[in-house]
């Protein structure tokens, strides 16, 4: 009887898929803490990690037999890709299947900020709504406003479709744009939506200088990674009302959200739920499991991170 490979998971993602697709083909070990993970990796052939897991050199040193890391996310900034390449460890992720869900959340955040939804909801829940007034909770109408999307990948393109559907005029920041062209675009941008992976080049892409170029009625949306924005600079701009507001699904030091940010009423905060629909999270589990099984069978998976 052929010995089954050992797959270590840091979280039991969609147990029914694990039971139907993974357990018949592998020995599954759940390691919930970093110390448990170190011990489990000693005999592991594969690892399924979450975006909140730091898969660094220290952990990889324990995985002497590790052949593949499957990240239950599309972003892989939590994995030391250089170390994986040096060791011949394949990395797979979950591209494509979370595109629509994340784009829909970007639109949700935009609408919530523009129409000041959390403020209105708070009024009602706290029994502070005292009747209709002409100037109560005035927000922004979005038709014909200028939207600038940073990142022309799957999610950026899908977000652009949704933005256009509600009448926004969409432009892009591209790799070809120099500082001068970027500055010109930012000066006329009323909605800035970020859809780039976190790399050395994109860390703090939206910094104090770029924020200062945005008009006073600008809205910033981020569903990518928190560190794409200089969080302190954004907080300062929100506090001083230099921009209208922001909708954030991600933060620099998750799960920690600065008190200064939580106190603001011109920002909508969500707990990194861009892909959080039943359909999407199930599809992500299916894709990452199929990817690691392909590698373990000696095949090249379609979701291999290059």
- Residue with tokens 């706290």, as numbered in its chain: 126
State which H helix or E strand residue 108 sits in: helix 99-114
pLDDT at 1: 53
Rounded-to-5 percentages of helix, strand, coil across the chain:
35, 15, 45
Q: Is 24 exposed, middle or buried (0-12, 13-18, 19+ CB in 10 A)?
A: exposed
CA 13 to chain centre: 18
DSSP of 26-62: SEEEE--SHHHHHHHHTT-SEEEE-TTS-B-HHHHTT
Q: Which residues are catalytic?
A: 225, 254, 272
> Mutual orientation of helices 117-125 and 99-114 as an angle, nearest 10°?
70
Is residue 299 scored above 60 in pLDDT?
Answer: yes
> Is 58's pLDDT higher than 80?
yes
- At the top level of CATH, the class of 99-269 is alpha beta
Task: Read off the pLDDT of residues 255-266 as tens digits, 9 standing for 90 and up.
Answer: 999 999 999 999
What are the residue ranges of CATH 3.40.50.720 in the chain?
Answer: 6-96+278-296, 99-269
Instruction: Give the span between the Cα atoms of 183 and 213, in whole angstroms.
Output: 7
147 has pLDDT over 60: yes
Q: Does domain 6-96+278-296 have CATH number 3.40.50.720?
A: yes
Cβ–Cβ under 8 Å, residues 113 and 245: yes
pLDDT in tens, 156-195: 999 999 999 999 999 999 888 899 999 999 999 999 999 9
So what's the pLDDT on residue 169?
99
Residue range 77-90, pLDDT digits in tens: 999 999 999 999 99
Query: Among residues 131, 139, 142, which one has the least CA distance to residue 167?
Result: 142
| Residue 190 pLDDT | 99
For the stretch 247-298, pLDDT in tens is 999 999 999 999 999 999 999 999 999 999 999 999 999 999 999 999 999 9
pTM of the model as a whole: 0.95
pLDDT tens-digit map of 184-236: 999 999 999 999 999 999 999 999 999 999 999 999 999 999 999 999 999 99
Q: Is 259 exposed, middle or buried (0-12, 13-18, 19+ CB in 10 A)?
A: exposed
């Amino acid at each position: 009887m052929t010995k089954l490979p050992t797959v270590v998971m840091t979280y039991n993602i969609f147990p029914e898929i694990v039971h139907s697709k993974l357990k018949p083909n592998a020995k599954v070990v759940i390691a919930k803490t970093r110390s448990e993970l170190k011990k489990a990796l000693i005999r592991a052939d594969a690892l399924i990690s979450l975006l909140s897991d730091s898969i660094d050199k220290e952990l990889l040193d324990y995985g002497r037999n590790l052949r593949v890391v499957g990240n239950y996310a599309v972003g892989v900034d939590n994995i030391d890709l250089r170390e994986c390449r040096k060791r011949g460890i394949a990395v797979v992720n979950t591209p494509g299947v979370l595109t629509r869900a994340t784009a829909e959340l970007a639109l949700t955040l935009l609408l919530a900020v523009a129409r000041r939804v959390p403020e209105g909801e708070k009024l009602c829940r706290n029994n502070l709504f005292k009747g209709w007034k002409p100037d109560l909770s005035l927000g922004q109408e979005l038709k014909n406003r200028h939207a600038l999307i940073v990142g022309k990948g799957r999610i950026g393109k899908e977000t652009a479709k949704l933005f256009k559907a509600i009448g926004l005029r969409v432009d892009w920041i591209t790799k070809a744009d120099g500082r001068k062209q970027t500055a010109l675009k930012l000066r006329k941008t009323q909605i800035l939506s970020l859809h780039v992976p976190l790399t050395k080049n994109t860390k703090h892409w939206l910094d104090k200088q770029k924020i200062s170029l945005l008009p006073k009625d600008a809205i910033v949306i981020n569903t990518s990674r928190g560190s794409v924005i200089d969080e302190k600079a954004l907080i300062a701009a929100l506090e001083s009302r230099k921009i209208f507001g922001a909708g954030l699904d991600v933060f620099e030091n998750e799960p920690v959200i600065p008190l200064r940010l939580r106190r603001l009423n011109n920002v909508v905060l969500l707990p990194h739920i861009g892909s959080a629909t039943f359909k999407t999270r199930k599809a992500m589990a299916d894709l990452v499991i199929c990817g690691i099984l392909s590698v373990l069978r000696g095949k090249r998976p379609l979701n291999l991170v290059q």
